Amino acid sequence: MFPTGRRFDRVTALFMSLLAAGFVIATFDVRTAETGIADTMRGGAATLLAPIQRGADLVISPVVSFFDGISNLAGLSDENLRLQEQVRGLELRLRETSALERKVEELEAINDLAPPLELASVSARVYSSGASSFDHVKYILKGIDDGIAIGQAVIDERGLIGRVDAVTASTARVRLLTDPVVSVGVRVQQTNETGVVTGLGTATLRLDMFDATTPVTRGSVVVTDGSRFPPGIVVGYVTESADAEVNFVLQTGVETAARFSKIDYVKVIVGWSPLDAEVELEPTLIEPPSFVNPAGDPQ
Amino acid sequence: MRRHKNTLIALGLVLIAIVLQTTLFNQVRPFAIAPALVLLTVIACARYLEPEAALMVGFTAGIVSDLVGGSSLGLWAITMTVVAFATVKLRHYEVGGVLVVAAGIFGLTFAGQLLYAIVGTLFGQGTISRPDLWKQLLFPALWNVVLAAPIFWVSTLTMRRDERRWAL
């Protein structure tokens, strides 16, 4: 095919061969997703690189934190005043909440309601991310040995982060909500209607509601619907009000509750499977927190 | 022997770049976008390698990036092989000066990532439909221009400029 044997031809032949190999590997990987040798190789690579990445992370994290601290010094004074104001507000709310809690306890006792199920979870540290800005994955330092399995929901203190999509004995890969290949079944709390959010590569997700009959308003809380993840986990907040039109898909944006740029620790929910959905209680109504700024910059 | 030594050094530099990309730039992400350090390292090493070795280093860097990333296996391998090939073909322009080198790094990074977005879309990754695609292409290219000085310095130091052989 390349009979001349000249240097240029050898290089071009190798180039074409490598391109062909790349396309064959990619096709093979796509066609054998989650069952093929590619995932075994990924697991092997993660296992081999994890100790090096952990070591690098241990060295890098304090240095990055130090420089972060220096860069934040200028803003600390204003931040301090703002926090003092916030503490006063929270103290007031705490007193109100305590009164409400007593009321709820009384009501629960009256109605003989069981408290919401406490789902078992495993805390994990994020030690690495994907190899490019196009990758929406994080690696955590917990794996099969800690009860982690593919498909489990991953959350932080604000809401849903993503799901476990690959796991080794001691590490796991979390595919983030923002990945365009991730879709999650959700429910808009204010209307109680369901839809699907899909990642767009940014902090804003796309919400599609196929059978919506009532409009959604900006700031509405969007939670998981319990089809794949435990119900009631906050996914985000509607960024734009949208009307439901008959026979048309209601489409709008959802700002993620989780801050993907600052994920250090996460929790993996290990004590739930979709089969549990039928026995779950109706989740309680969640109010949008004060930090929500649906029209603001990506977090 | 020397050739193999340079290839091994290049592979070592690529491995370090991958570790830094997945750890350091997991935390340091100005405008929420990290530089394409592995791509930059492939460009830096391809300047000094035999054409065949440059292609193999590009392909290997891509495969390892695919393995630690979240996309289909082979996509970065295709991209980095093309970038290595383009670097081999364009490296004689390096004598044109700093501005030419900066423009070359910007162009190769931008074009490489655009190629990744196109190939990724062909394989169902949905990369090209992202609303902030321009940021994903532009910012790493700018970052790479800034990082080129230390990375090129390290590659020159370790692979020694006097051993450079140009494409025929």
A58–chain B Cβ distance below 8 A for any pair:
no
Mean pLDDT of B131-144: 88
A7–chain B Cβ distance below 8 A for any pair:
yes
B46–chain A Cβ distance below 8 A for any pair:
no
Label residue A110 by pLDDT band (50, 70, 90). very low
Question: Tokens 């949208």 appear where?
Answer: A242
Min Cα–Cα distance to chain A from B158, Å: 21
Contact residues, chain A, for B75 at CB < 8 Å: 22, 26
Mean pLDDT of B27-43: 88
B141–chain A Cβ distance below 8 A for any pair:
no
pLDDT at A115: 37
Question: Tokens 């390349």 appear where?
Answer: A2
Reference A210, options A234, A198, A194; nearest CA is A194
pLDDT at B167: 37
Which residue from A minimizes the CA distance to B58? A18
Label residue A34 by pLDDT band (50, 70, 90). low
Determine contact, residues A299/A248, Cβ cutoff 8 Å.
no
- pLDDT of A17 over the 90 cut: yes
Mean pLDDT of A149-172: 89
Which residue from B minimizes the CA distance to A41? B67
B68–chain A Cβ distance below 8 A for any pair:
yes
| Chain Cα centroid distance, residue A107 | 34
ipTM value for the complex:
0.88
Kindly report the pTM of this predicted structure: 0.75
Most confident of A37-41, A62-66, B96-100, B147-151: B147-151
A127–chain B Cβ distance below 8 A for any pair:
yes
User: What are the φ and ψ backbone dihedral angles of A150, each rounded to 5 degrees?
Assistant: -60, 135
Residue B92 has which token pair? 């004689």
DSSP B128: G
Reference A269, options A299, A232, A222, A220; nearest CA is A232
A183–chain B Cβ distance below 8 A for any pair:
no
Q: State the DSSP string of A39-85.
A: HHHHHHHHHHHHHHHHHHHHHHHHHHHHHHHHHHHHHHHHHHHHHHH
pLDDT at B69: 85
Question: Among A95-109, A251-265, B83-97, whose mean pLDDT is lowest?
Answer: A95-109
Higher pLDDT, A135 or A115: A135
Record: contact B167-A26, CB cut-off 8 A? no
Min Cα–Cα distance to chain A from B100, Å: 25
Question: Among A65-79, A188-202, B142-156, whose mean pLDDT is lowest?
Answer: A65-79
Higher pLDDT, B159 or A32: B159
Contact residues, chain A, for B88 at CB < 8 Å: 11
A133–chain B Cβ distance below 8 A for any pair:
yes
Which residue from B minimizes the CA distance to A20? B78
Label residue A38 by pLDDT band (50, 70, 90). confident
Determine contact, residues A45/B67, Cβ cutoff 8 Å.
yes
Higher pLDDT, B30 or A55: A55
Higher pLDDT, A203 or A125: A125
B window 89-118, beta carbon within 8 A of A:
113, 116-117
Mean pLDDT of A102-115: 51
Angle of helix B51-68 versus helix A7-31 axis, rounded to 10? 10
Record: contact A180-B125, CB cut-off 8 A? yes
Among B34, B66, B67, beta carbon nearest to A133: B34
Q: What is the pLDDT of residues B72-120, one digit of tens each?
A: 899 999 999 999 999 999 998 888 788 999 999 999 999 999 999 999 9
A window 194-223, beta carbon within 8 A of B:
200-202, 204
Residue A214 has which token pair? 């009532």
**Best of B7, B20, B24, B26 to mutate (most A CBs within 10 Å, chain A):** B26
Distance CA B59, CA B69 (A): 15
Q: What is the pLDDT of residues A76-85, one digit of tens each?
A: 667 777 788 8
Among B62, B69, B85, beta carbon nearest to A130: B69
B127–chain A Cβ distance below 8 A for any pair:
yes
DSSP A235: E
How many H helices and E strands in chain A? 2, 12
Residue B125 has which token pair? 């990754």
Contact residues, chain A, for B38 at CB < 8 Å: 131-132
| Amino acid (1-letter code) at residue A291 | F
